[in-house]
Amino acid sequence: MANVYDFTVKDRKGNDVSLSEYAGKVLLIVNTATGCGFTPHYTPLEEMYKDLKDKGLEILDFPCNQFANQAPGSEDEIHEFCTLKFGADFPQFKKIKVNGEEADPLYAYLATEKPFEGFGKGIKNGALKKFSDMNNKEFGDKAYIKWNFTKFLIDREGNVVARFEPTTDMKEVRKAVEDLLG
């Protein structure tokens, strides 16, 4: 695969969507969960989307239930929760797996392009690492994503340019997006 535009994913209704439809846009691809301590990331994500969509930003939301069973609902239940609680208006796709033998090929590609480099320093980050390591033990070398709300930044040519762990301050994520938008 040459870049992100070579992948096809499923929308929340199960229809194929070629990511080439987003060619020329800056993408922020996020694996999400509705019952996670990082779920409040939906608020700055939606603010960023509203502020920067007209400049070429698209946020692509991929719910995932592989981290402590924190996204157990159906696609419709997840969408309703995100819309009602956070006003999320960016595209939401079918729930996927991001780790293991059944990992969505897009996520295996993203994580290969920008591998995990750690959660950062501090007590919270250390605790998350310990919990993540326990949770992801079953996936071995296919534990591509360490936790919910991992974000991948994609340039207008479809190249993966940055990875942000859920512990990264959302202001830092926004700055990187704004810098890429120009």
- Residues marked active site are found at 36
Q: Quick one: how many helices (H) and strands (E) in the chain?
A: 5, 6
Q: Which two tokens stand for residue 151?
A: 């974000």
124-139 in b/e burial notation, b at 16+ Cβ within 10 A?
eeeebbeebeebbeeb
Distance CA 17, CA 182 (A): 27
- Quick one: CA dihedral 72, 74, 77, 79, positive or negative? positive
Q: Quick check: helix, strand or coil at residue 58?
A: strand
44 C-beta neighbours (distance < 10 Å), count = 15
